[in-house]
Structure formats: structure tokens, C-alpha cells
């Protein structure tokens, strides 16, 4: 679906209430569009762990304007199924990421090369607090 509001309309058809009962939850799933405005944004929250995160942020149940109480999880499951057709695991997303050399670079910070001075003249050292 293209927009959280359309997901919300779908939720109303399933469980009743108002689109505005659901909009904060569907918007939360799609906030990652601020990082990547294409399908890749979904890797951040569109998976089983994302549904648990939704419950942590919004609580285990959602009370609709009609007074009906539904599990928050249902809304998360609906959102992901509408976007992807199924609920992937986080591992499913990670398997799809092509590792690049910089992603695995490790070692102690002390062993890394010094950063060159900033062209803006600001020091990498903490500012004097006196």
C-alpha cells in the first residue's frame, strides 16, 4: 500500500473504529521512509521483530474509538502482510543484504588511523569546559 492512511482504512474494514485509531501505528511502520524512500525502508520494521517493537511502543492492545479492544499485534501483522504478502523474519532481510568490506571492519578504536583535520577548522578534541 502506498500510504499509512490506506492501511488504516483497511484496518477499519477488518475491525471497525476510525482510520485515526490506526494511523499512528501504520505511520510508525513507515517512518523509515525518511531514511530510504523506496522499498528498502521496510527492512527496518517490516518483520516479526518489528511487530514486537510495535507492541513495546504502543502497548499490547489498542482501544478503538468504538470501545472495541484489539491486539496491537493484529495491526502490525496486517500492515506487513499487505506490504509484503507474508511476515518475514529479521534474518530474512539480513540474508538479502550483500555484505561489503566496510561492514565487517573491526578492531580497536585505538588502532584505527587518525582522522584528518576538519576543513572547517573545528577540533576533534572536546571543547574546553572552563
HEC per residue, 61-93: EEECCCCCEEEHHHHHHHHHHHHHCCCCCHHHH
Q: Which residue has the cell 491486539?
A: 71
In terms of residues, how long is the chain? 130
Examine the pLDDT at 127 and tell me if it is beyond 60.
no
d(CA 62, CA 24): 11
Higher local confidence (pLDDT), 36 or 13: 13
d(CA 58, CA 51): 10
Structure pTM?
Answer: 0.77
d(CA 28, CA 91): 21
- Over residues 19-66, the pLDDT tens digits come to 999 999 999 999 999 998 888 899 999 999 999 999 999 999 999 999
Q: What is the pLDDT of residue 123?
A: 52
Closest CA to 54 of 75, 37, 69: 75
- Over residues 82-115, the pLDDT tens digits come to 999 999 999 999 999 888 888 787 766 676 667 7
Beta strands in 2-130 (DSSP E): 61-63, 69-71
Q: What is the pLDDT of residue 121?
A: 61
d(CA 84, CA 14): 18
Amino acid at each position: 500500500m502506498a500510504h499509512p492512511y490506506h492501511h488504516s482504512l483497511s484496518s477499519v474494514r477488518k475491525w471497525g473504529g476510525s482510520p485515526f485509531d490506526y494511523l499512528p501505528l501504520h505511520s510508525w511502520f513507515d517512518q523509515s521512509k525518511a531514511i530510504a524512500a523506496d522499498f528498502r525502508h521496510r527492512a527496518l520494521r517490516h518483520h516479526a521483530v518489528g511487530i514486537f517493537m510495535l507492541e513495546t511502543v504502543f502497548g499490547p492492545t489498542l482501544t478503538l474509538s468504538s470501545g472495541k479492544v484489539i491486539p496491537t499485534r493484529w495491526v502490525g501483522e496486517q500492515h506487513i502482510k499487505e506490504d509484503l504478502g507474508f511476515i518475514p523474519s529479521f534474518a530474512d532481510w539480513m540474508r538479502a543484504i550483500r555484505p561489503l568490506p566496510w561492514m565487517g571492519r573491526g578492531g580497536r578504536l585505538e588502532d584505527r588511523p587518525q582522522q584528518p583535520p576538519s576543513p572547517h577548522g573545528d577540533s576533534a578534541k572536546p571543547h574546553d569546559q572552563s
